[in-house]
Amino acid sequence: MIVRTLRAGALSLLIAGAGLAEAPARAETITVTHWGSAFYGAPYAVALEKGFFKKRGLDITGFLTSAGGGTSVRNTLAGEVPFGEVALPAAILAIQSGQPIKIISGGVESVEDILWITQPDGKVGSLADLKGKKVAYTAPGSVTNMIILNCLQKAGLEQKDLQLVAAGDLGANLSAVLNRAVDAAMSGEPLWSGNQGKVKAAFWAKDCMNPALTQTVGITTAEFAKTGGDKLRALIEARREGVAYIKAHPDEAADIVAKAYSGDPKIFREVFKHFVGFEYFGDGRLHYDNMNRMLDGMKLVGRLKGPVEWGQVVDTSFLPKDLQASQ
Tell me which of 140, 174, 207 is where a domain ends: 207
129 and 193, same domain (yes or no): yes
pLDDT at 98: 93
Give, in order, the Cα–Cα distances in Å from 3 to each of 58, 135, 171, 198, 277.
29, 17, 8, 20, 23
Q: Over 70: is that where the pLDDT of 12 sits?
A: no
pLDDT digits (tens, 9 = 90+) for 87-112: 899 899 999 999 999 999 999 999 99
pLDDT above 90 coverage of the chain, percent: 70
Sign of CA dihedral 60, 285, 308, 154: negative
pLDDT at 14: 26
Considering the chain, what is the average pLDDT of its residues?
A: 87
pTM confidence score: 0.85
Q: What is the CATH number of the domain that holds 158?
A: 3.40.190.10
200 and 98, same domain (yes or no): no
Residue 7 lies in a domain: no
pLDDT at 27: 52
Instruction: In whole angstroms, give the CA distance from residue 291 to residue 251.
Output: 30
165 and 86, same domain (yes or no): no
104 and 219, same domain (yes or no): yes
198 and 124, same domain (yes or no): yes
147-170 average pLDDT score:
93
Residue 24 lies in a domain: no
Instruction: In whole angstroms, give the CA distance from residue 263 to residue 259.
Output: 6
Please state whether 34 falls in left (phi above 0), alpha (psi between -120 and 50) or beta. Answer: left
Cβ pair 266, 193 in contact under 8 A:
no
Q: Over 50: is that where the pLDDT of 3 sits?
A: no
Q: Over 80: is that where the pLDDT of 73 sits?
A: no
Least-confidence region, from 27-31, 130-134, 187-191, 230-234? 27-31
Tell me which of 207, 240, 257 is where a domain ends: 207
Number of domains comprising the chain: 2
Least-confidence region, from 66-75, 172-181, 195-204? 66-75
Domain that holds residue 90: 31-110+213-323
